[in-house]
Amino acid sequence: MSNVKVRFAPSPTGNLHVGNLRTALVNYLFARSQGGNFMLRIDDTDTERSTAAFEASIRTDLEWMGMHQDSEDRQSERLGQYDAALQRLLTDGRAYACYETPEELALKRKAQLSAGRPPVYDRAALKLNDDQKAAFEAEGRRPHFRFLLNDAEVAWHDMVRGDVAYHMSSLSDPVLFREDGRVIYTMASVVDDIDHAITHIIRGEDHVTNSAAQIQLFKALGARAPEMGHVALLAGADGEGLSKRLGSLSIGQLRDEGMQPAAIASLLARIGTADPVVPQPVLGDIVDGFDLSRFGRATAKFDPAELAQINARVIQQLDFAAVETDLVAAGVGGGAPFWQAVRDNLGTVAEAADWWSVCTAPVTPVIEAEAQAVTNAAADLLPEGDLPADIWGDWTRAVAAQTGVKGRGLFMPLRLALTGRQKGPEIAPLLSFMGRARVIERLRGNTA
């Protein structure tokens, strides 16, 4: 293992969706490509919204994706570390108590905007004396705490965006603790990253401004900030921004729709890069081809239709052993030969059950009047005994010779009679699963 260590830090306040899974995946692939450590950190300080059920769901999704963590922690067990960090900042003059109510802060922002000024906190709390603070507390007010930003430019070389710089005069001093004593993400995340020796922070570009303030916070707590990488956010296929449907498209929903974890990973690992999406059935192969430097700053487009296409191409590469459990659970027989016969025509593994039903359950043949001669001849000329796939060529040539019908005029009537469908897998390897009696009945136009 190298000294590279990254973290994925979900809040258990909802299910994983496409956007935050992409963040997890990029971190996971980066760690694995560097021989490093992938950490799962449960950010569960929001006690009102965090639930054990959502945490279990997140863990299930990550396991299903094959993204196993090397280490983990949770913020609710680290509250003492956050309190200690606040005390250090207060002692060093880098944090201060504020007593404004949310309503008062909202009025300040409104006045600043009306005057054409940016809504930056005015640091009025720094001017309070002890008597004024005591008076506020006597009213029942409890302070929230802010981090005192240095009036300076913060610059770093971003692993995705290149050189980035922000002047802190354009930002409000970030809140570290709420008035109810709850630690804010800005504070907790930095303390965690220091204590867990995180070397690289890879997250969405919506955190860029937050990162600028956090870099100062790292320094104020006596630590060097990790390397930063901010990946462009996802948008819908139209490029107009991630729609509510896509934003709420949970990984559990994709799983229920039959998407393969490797298909999801293949797409999310490449969209937003200059490289083509390559369907890979094995996560390790995706790791081998991963390069964070290939990600660009343009908005990445996620298209469910593209995912469905990739899913089909991944399925075409899956061996029977990879799907056997699911097929058996769905009542699909035929073993590896049946899987190999149908997999190239499947959009999901579950669709194999449909074709197993076509082969083994009653099907109503579709035979046009002008095609009856073809199907009757096919029934008469069907070889005796078993029906291995290699009889197809000689059999259909014999039917063509007797009826004078060739090409589509021959093969489409056979497909419609035997399956009741215009499209699907090649018929030849399906014959043995249908059985001779059923094939003849269908060719005669009888439901069988």
Q: How far apart are CA 422 and CA 138, in angstroms?
A: 80
> Are the beta carbons of 402 and 381 closer than 8 angstroms?
yes
Alpha-helical runs (H) found in 4-101: 18-33, 52-65, 79-91
| Residue 323 burial class via C-beta count within 10 angstroms: exposed 0-12, middle 13-18, buried 19 and up | buried
- Predicted local confidence at residue 142, as pLDDT: 96
Q: Are strands 153-158 and 227-231 parallel, antiparallel or unpaired?
A: unpaired
> Are the beta carbons of 229 and 292 closer than 8 angstroms?
yes
Q: CB under 8 Å to 203, separation ≥6 — which residues?
A: 23, 229, 230, 231
CA dihedral 23, 24, 30, 31 (to 10 degrees): 150
Fold of domain 362-443:
Arc Repressor Mutant, subunit A (1.10.10)
- Predicted local confidence at residue 238, as pLDDT: 66
- Map tokens 């003849």 to a residue: 440
Which of 149, 144, 145, 190 has the alpha carbon at shortest distance from 173? 149
User: How much is the CA Rg of the chain, to the nearest whole Å?
Assistant: 31
- Predicted local confidence at residue 300, as pLDDT: 85
- Predicted local confidence at residue 22, as pLDDT: 95
pLDDT digits (tens), the chain, 448 positions: 579 999 999 999 999 999 999 999 999 999 999 999 999 999 999 988 999 999 999 999 999 999 999 999 999 999 999 999 999 999 999 999 999 999 999 999 999 999 999 999 999 999 999 999 999 999 999 999 999 999 999 999 999 999 999 999 999 999 999 999 999 999 999 999 999 999 999 999 999 999 999 999 999 999 999 999 999 998 877 665 554 445 558 999 999 999 999 999 999 999 999 899 999 999 999 999 999 999 999 888 899 999 999 999 999 999 999 999 999 999 999 999 999 999 999 999 999 999 999 999 999 999 999 999 999 999 999 999 999 999 999 999 999 999 999 999 999 999 999 999 999 999 999 999 999 999 999 999 999 9
Longest distance between any two alpha carbons in the chain, whole Å: 108
Domain parsing of the chain, residue ranges: 79-188, 362-443
> Are the beta carbons of 186 and 82 closer than 8 angstroms?
no
Identify the CATH assignment for 79-188 out of 3.30.2310.20, 3.90.800.10, 3.90.1010.10, 3.40.50.1820. Answer: 3.90.800.10
Hey, how many other C-beta atoms are within 10 angstroms of the C-beta on 424? 16
Instruction: State if pTM tops 0.75.
Output: yes
- Predicted local confidence at residue 244, as pLDDT: 46
